[in-house]
Structure 1
Amino acid sequence: MPSDDFWKGFGSASLLRAVADALTALPQPSERIAVALSGGTDSAMLAVHAAILARRRKLTLHCFHVHHGLQEPAAQWQAHVHDLAHWLQIPCHSMLVRVDMSAGVGMEAAARDARYEALRSMAVQTDVEHILLAHHRNDQAETVMLRLLRGSGPTGLAAMAPTMKRHGMTYLRPWLDIDRVAILEQASQFFTVSGWAPVDDPSNVNDKYTRAAVRERLVPALNERWPGWQRNVVRHARQSAQVQEVLDEVAAQDFAGLSPTDNAGSFALAGWRQLSQARQALVLRYWLALHGLRMPTDARLQDVMRQLRGLHAMGHDRQMQVKHGAVWIRCVQGRVLLDIDPTGPVFLSTENSNVEKR
């Protein structure tokens, strides 16, 4: 168990300040927060620094671990994560999920969708609305590169936002301006204090996965030729986010004219078809983002738009349905709507025995 000296003196001032600033920036103060804890270096150090901050500010902190079952040692990772939470004296919850590959979105995207649904479920169980994610500057730079290679367009290059709404939850990424070197330094110091070491997920360096391929093949070449390139790319992401904000304002105005304010789940097909093609695309992306859904590829978006334009104005000639992640995009009686896939993860609630259960 940590000593009083640990709680008083451990932790990076810049990492702690970044977490504190993210919480302070919330419109409404939050006294119950959670950390998405995979057991890797980044999320573990976020849990450590969040625990220190929670103790100082008298906040209630939970750890959420998602067990994908995709790696053979996943069960050991789950136990290892709970060991860390036990050492930090905070409750930890785990959820076993089934990664649904039927949508044809690829393993990485399917696992990400399952992970966010699991985090939402655990948050509901524990009455938490704000979840901390450990993405850092290097992750952000990789994401921009991936978006660029996938042809995501200028707004897609905004990459990950510091604050994100998804299915009623608020996700905070306080370390997007933090270089991973600082996190690794803290992990080394924490091992000296606690004897706890992060897990090593082999998929992070397996270049059959797209992000790992960028990390293992492209990033080393960029590091050698353009040292510090991540900082420039992350600045580009911030500028793209500003462009996105302006376009979102336009899309919000257009969408408001297509949907009653109490029913953002659907919009009028006839009104949508009166917009220019560029604004039609903006409305569709805005609508999907409004519901916390991932952005479609350009090819998928164009296909959805083509099908919508091919429908009868009132949507009576045939029933349209396009699978997008865990939802279906449908058109019924002249309104384009989302139909949620009822398949969900299995909840395995576990807490440290030294913490009173709710």
Structure 2
Amino acid sequence: MAATKRPVPDSTSSGKKSGKPAGLPFGSPALLSAIDRALASLDPTPRAVGVAVSGGADSAMLAVHAAEVARQRGIALHFLHVHHGLQLIADDWRGQVHDLAQLLAVPCHSMRVQVDPAGDGIESAARTARYRALAALAERAGVGHVLLAHHQDDQAETVLLRLLRGAGPQGLGAMAPQMHRDGLVYLRPWLDVSRASILRLADEFRRVAGWKPVHDPTNAEDRYTRSAVRERLTPQLDDRWPGWQATLARHARQSREASQVLQEVATQDLAGLEPSQDGRSFSLARWRELSQARQALVLRHWLAAQGLRMPTDARLAELMRQMRGLHALGHDRQMQVKHGDALIRCVRGRVLVE
């Protein structure tokens, strides 16, 4: 895992409050409704929410629309900005975000982090640092829910990347509308919204309000994996299959639904394996009564419940081969399969993890 230094508070500013909430004659009804539905799905409705704002067109338009929805719902809104310190121009981006906050009379909190690309690489390290900083900023602002500006094009790119990396049904579900991480609930209300429509709104907002979003040049550098998909594959797909983003976004929704069904089946199957009270062992004989596909499914589910990483197909196949080769009570030989820092054994007919 890439190491990142502890995020350090950078600055906090509050939008200047006038006698009435700041409002602009601007906004897409469809995009406003998407944010409103996301907030309406929360029970109870939070008194305050945050929105992650990088300063780019996507997050800026989410911030603008969220400000209007929050005003209508009587919810306090906070802008959360993470300064990665990877480019000199990032200081200007922070200023742009705080200017937008002033324009909309919304409190803005920012934090600078230092990213160490050793280990999993710069993209993974930056993502890890960003979420850590967002958690710290949310705690400072007193919010437990944060809006993210991921859209349909982001979702389609994620499906492509997961597919190329060999992800299973759960991975192909890509980004979920709600995500729990670090004690926060992240909301993605715009997963069905195209980037083209967001860019049109950003251009319109620039004409109405005089505020212009920032542009990150690394988004076009194909040395980064996601940028390579965007710069090399997307033009070809746009030319041959117009609207492919919507198709892959639909595929992601269907994959998440299928994953939920598989999760329910795996939960039921594990309950039928006479699991121990702590869940760390189960009956070998009961496991053998399942079909081969469900044997694999429940093993993955059980390993995940133990906090272990998912095994490769080859490692899972070897584990299942050994489990099938044991005596029904596991007395004929001692099975020991190392998986990460854990050891999977079979003792007296019980498969257990140590």
Q: Same fold (TM over 0.5)?
A: yes
**Structure-2 residue corresponding to 1:135:** 150
Check conservation: 1:251, 1:279, Cα contact below 8 A.
yes
* Partner Cα separation in structure 2 for residue 101 and residue 11 of structure 1: 38
| More displaced 10-residue stretch of structure 1: 55-64 or 216-225 | 55-64
Q: Which of the numbers 98, 123, 132 marks the counterpart of 1:82?
A: 98
SS class of match (2:258) = helix
CA gap 1:95/1:15 in 2 versus in 1, 3 angstroms: same
- Structure 2 counterparts to residues 93-172 of structure 1, below 5 A: 93-102=109-118, 104-172=119-187
- Structure 2 counterparts to residues 274-293 of structure 1, below 5 A: 276-285=295-304
SS class of match (2:213) = coil
CA gap 1:277/1:62 in 2 versus in 1, 3 angstroms: same
| More displaced 10-residue stretch of structure 1: 220-229 or 250-259 | 250-259
SS class of match (2:42) = coil
Deviations, residues 191-217 of structure 1 (Å, cap 9, x unaligned): 112221111111211111111000000
Is it true that 1:248 corresponds to 2:263 in the alignment? yes
- Structure 2 counterparts to residues 197-346 of structure 1, below 5 A: 197-253=212-268, 268=280, 276-285=295-304, 299=312, 322=340
SS class of match (1:164) = strand
* Partner Cα separation in structure 2 for residue 166 and residue 127 of structure 1: 16
Check conservation: 1:251, 1:286, Cα contact below 8 A.
no
Aligned residues: 313
SS class of match (1:224) = helix
The sequence identity of aligned pairs, in percent, is 49
**TM-superposed deviation, 1:254:** 6.2
**TM-superposed deviation, 1:184:** 1.0
**Structure-2 residue corresponding to 1:52:** 68
Name the aligned partner's letter for residue 133 of structure 1.
Answer: L
Please identify the structure whose Cα radius of gyration is greater.
2
**TM-superposed deviation, 1:61:** 0.5
* Partner Cα separation in structure 1 for residue 281 and residue 114 of structure 2: 34
CA gap 1:168/1:254 in 2 versus in 1, 3 angstroms: farther
**TM-superposed deviation, 1:330:** 5.9
* Partner Cα separation in structure 2 for residue 237 and residue 21 of structure 1: 20
CA gap 1:8/1:77 in 2 versus in 1, 3 angstroms: closer
Name the aligned partner's letter for residue 157 of structure 1.
Answer: L
CA gap 1:287/1:268 in 2 versus in 1, 3 angstroms: closer
**Structure-1 residue corresponding to 2:79:** 63
Structure 2 unaligned regions, length at least 5: 1-15, 288-294, 323-329, 331-335, 345-350
CA gap 1:44/1:280 in 2 versus in 1, 3 angstroms: same
**TM-superposed deviation, 1:45:** 0.5
Q: Which has the higher contact order (CA 8 A, sep 6+)?
A: 1
* Partner Cα separation in structure 1 for residue 257 and residue 211 of structure 2: 40
**TM-superposed deviation, 1:155:** 2.3
TM-score (norm 1): 0.75
Check conservation: 2:63, 2:79, Cα contact below 8 A.
yes
**TM-superposed deviation, 1:112:** 1.3
TM-score (norm 2): 0.76
SS class of match (2:49) = strand
Deviations, residues 157-185 of structure 1 (Å, cap 9, x unaligned): 11111111112211100000111122111
Deviations, residues 290-331 of structure 1 (Å, cap 9, x unaligned): xxx9x86x64x8669989x99xx9xxxx9x895xxxxxx667
**TM-superposed deviation, 1:279:** 2.0
* Partner Cα separation in structure 2 for residue 45 and residue 225 of structure 1: 29
SS class of match (2:81) = strand
**TM-superposed deviation, 1:255:** 6.9
